[in-house]
Amino acid sequence: MSSKIPSLRTMGTLPVFMTAVSTILGAILFLRFGYAVGHVGLIGALGIIAIGHFVTVPTALAVAEIATNQKVEGGGAYYMISRSFGLNIGATIGITLFLSQAISVAFYVIAFVEALGPLLDWIETMTYIPDFVRDKRFLGVIFMLLLTLLMLSKGANIGVKALYGVVFVLAISLTMFFLGESNSPNGNYIYKTITGHDDFFKVFTIIFPAFTGIAAGLGLSGDLKDPKKSIPRGTLWATIVGIIIYVCVALKLFYSAPLGALANNQMVMSDIAIWGPIIPIGLGCAAISSALGSIMIAPRTLQALGVDSIFPGKLNSLFAKGRKKDGEPFNALVITCIIGFAFIIMGDIDTVAGIISMFFMVTYGIICLISFLEQFAADPSYRPTFKSRWYLSLPGAILCFWLMFKMDFAYAAASTVIMVLVYIWVSHINKDKKGLQKLFKGVLFQLSRQFQIFLQKRDTDEAVAEWRPFIISVSKDSFKRQSAFNLLRWLSHKYGFGTYIHFIDGFLSKETYEESQNVMDRLLKQNEGLKSKVYMDTIISPSYTSAIAQVIQLSGVSGKGNNMILFEFTHEEKESLNDAIQNYQLLRATEFDVCILRSTIKGFGFKKSIHIWIRPKDFENANLMILLSYIMLGHPEWKHGEIKIFSTYPPTEKVETEAKLTELIKEGRLPISPSNIQLIPQLKEEKVDIIINKKSADADLTIVGYNSEQIEEESDVTFSKYPDIGNILFVSAFKEKTIE
């Protein structure tokens, strides 16, 4: 995939500044800022400026940061987002960003038509004007047509050249406005508003597009000689100039006209300026320049989406194609103009402003979030030459998303739903492209690292009551049997942590290393679709004992030391059992609980019944056996399972045995019902293994305990009993587990 868009890179920093500042000082400044001061007062207008720039300043800094981290190609904000968050997420934002930019063209054309009002009034004093000519939709379509023909024939270069003249006219307009008299009756009542004023956030929604110009220069990224230099400088300078001018305009308006006039006369700035006609001229220039800026940027965003093959089929080549002589995105420009025509016909300026505000707010929030997440993830490949600060980016992102719902809950909810649907659609089309996993990979790494360090520092003896299994299993039979791995994934599904390691016998070399990589690939593919939460790895060692010695000294995936090891064997292959017996004392010395699974051809059956046998010598193991059973039932595959506990007793000790078990249940140390416990008398001459064989013949898993004495004195027979039952788990707890 190529991300390069055919374009002649000839522009410097000044076009970025001009594009941004001419959009910032645009239609809203001339048409709606008096409305804002009238409805929310001077203090409210200054609050809107402040809140707006609490969003745009962190975004401008984030833009500067992201732009200096990588080679910026065509596509502006879309390119930056997609290269930081992955193409699927970037495309989701890119599509909505393109729509907001295309709709902005309609918004600025409508504003331009508003600027023609005084001119039409003057013409009508001299000659008759037909009603259809005064129709704003008609005029909007006419000027949209002229703008379309201009851009299709001349491209971005004519737009950039026009910006210089526009900014000059804007400067003259604002100068004449500031030179007007300031004799308002409002005095110093900075909180004063008109009666029946609009809600603060409704006013903010209408005004916010005034601040969206900070991203305007990004769309020229593919035409800049040095985007890393031009984008940060042009964007930041435009933002600073915009803040200063908006504060000055708010003060000038408040001290120059009554609140009623400010609220109801959208051309009130003409009444204040020393020469009134300059304001409609400035408005017209600002509107048409902003329209030029938007109509230059939107096609480049769509072109970049096409270059990245985001759309299905031939649409990509259609949108990506540039004009041969100058790389101008001709086809994308046609699509942009069609959208512009549609919204000119459909909406008024306030409605379109609300839609634009919502889309841009989402985009700015995402850009701030990118900056924060990249800083938090501490990716070595993220090395911007200009750095923002996380304590600016994070509040900026939060503020954007909060403001969305404060501005218009319905619009915000609809925008969220639309973006989710677009993401699903884009992900379906581009299944091979990175999505959410790229977004949070570095963040999750950092969170995991910080949590592991936090847990290690606070890992004290008092944490025994909070015991949970940190299990490790080392096996060379990974591709012969799945019983040990299945047991491990059930135990680590919800309450514990599991690490499965395939043992490769030999010394570390190029050949064994390559073998370990192949084994790892096989393990991952073999367990695809299981939704396993087991961490898998391989180990190369000259003996099983040395492998065990290595792994028990290392922290597991949890970040804490492992506390349990799982072995597995069958009647036919007892090599793993011998390994467990030989290393038992080493594991006890390192305070490990040792579990040995004997798997059979029956496997785990229907996963409905677990039998636990508690014999007189097993009370130290009892709680661990019950905890493991309880944890297994937390896995969906065992959701219909039940635990049954059996305990044998000499006929003369029934009362004592029953009282002991009942007391454990009463204290909450055994989390089971008394009805699930069955006491079985054991005659003096009767062997307990015969009773277990009989009672648990149909169990899906049987759990029994064992201890050091049995390993030392009768290891040959301890694990060879119970020929008539299925899978059986032998449990040896290092010490009794307390269940609070």
The backbone region for 224, taken as left when phi is positive above 0, alpha when psi lies in -120 to 50, beta otherwise, is: beta
Each residue's pLDDT tens digit, 49-95: 999 889 888 887 887 777 666 665 655 667 767 776 677 777 877 88
Q: Which residue type, as a one-letter code, is found at position 625?
A: M
For the cut 60, the answer to whether the pLDDT of residue 461 exceeds it is no
Query: Where does the chain hold its CATH 3.40.50.620 domain(s)?
Result: 600-740
Contacts by residues 145-153 (CB-CB < 8 Å, ≥ 24 positions apart)? 147/105, 147/109, 147/288, 147/291, 147/292, 147/295, 147/337, 147/340, 148/337, 148/340, 151/292, 151/295, 151/296, 151/333, 151/337, 152/330, 152/333, 152/334, 152/337
pLDDT in the model for residue 172: 92
Provide mean pLDDT across the span 573-579.
86
Is the separation of the CB atoms in 476 and 541 below 8 Å? no
Query: Where does the chain hold its CATH 1.20.1740.10 domain(s)?
Result: 13-369+378-431
pLDDT classification of 1: cutoffs 50, 70, 90: very low
Distance CA 87, CA 97 (A): 14
Distance CA 132, CA 129 (A): 8
CA distances from 17 to 12, 31, 175, 236, 515 (A): 10, 23, 20, 8, 57
Residues 6+ apart with CB under 8 A from 485: 473, 475, 478, 500, 527, 534
Tokens of 613: 């046998």
Annotate 389-417 with three-state secondary structure: CHHHHHHHHHHHHHHHHHHCHHHHHHHHH
pLDDT in the model for residue 51: 93
Q: What are phi and psi of 235, to 5 degrees?
A: -65, -45
Is the separation of the CB atoms in 574 and 536 below 8 Å? no
Each residue's pLDDT tens digit, 411-428: 888 877 887 888 788 777
pLDDT in the model for residue 418: 80
For the cut 70, the answer to whether the pLDDT of residue 568 exceeds it is yes
Q: What is 143-179 written as a DSSP string?
A: HHHHHHHHHHHH-HHHHHHHHHHHHHHHHHHHHHHHT
Question: What pairing do the DSSP bridges indicate for beta strands 642-649 and 609-614?
Answer: parallel
For the cut 60, the answer to whether the pLDDT of residue 5 exceeds it is no
CA distances from 206 to 197, 261, 483 (A): 14, 18, 64
Distance CA 398, CA 253 (A): 31
**CATH fold of the domain at 13-369+378-431:** Amino acid/polyamine transporter I (1.20.1740)
Each residue's pLDDT tens digit, 610-630: 999 987 777 788 888 988 998
Tokens of 29: 């400044």
Which of 228-232, 358-362, 543-547 is predicted most confidently? Answer: 543-547
**H-type helices in 473-618, by residue range?**
483-491, 510-526, 544-551, 575-582, 584-589
Q: From 3.30.200.20, 3.30.450.20, 3.40.50.620, 3.40.50.2300, which CATH number describes the 600-740 domain?
A: 3.40.50.620
Name the nearest CA neighbour of 237 among 517, 18, 565.
18
In this predicted structure, which of 118-127, 305-314, 470-479, 537-546 has the lowest mean pLDDT?
118-127
Helix (H, G, I), strand (E, B) or coil at 379: coil
Distance CA 536, CA 501 (A): 6
Residue 146 CA, distance from chain mean position: 42
Each residue's pLDDT tens digit, 149-191: 877 676 555 555 666 777 888 889 999 999 988 877 777 778 8
Q: What are phi and psi of 504, to 5 degrees?
A: -115, 115
CA distances from 230 to 68, 220, 381, 424 (A): 10, 10, 22, 35
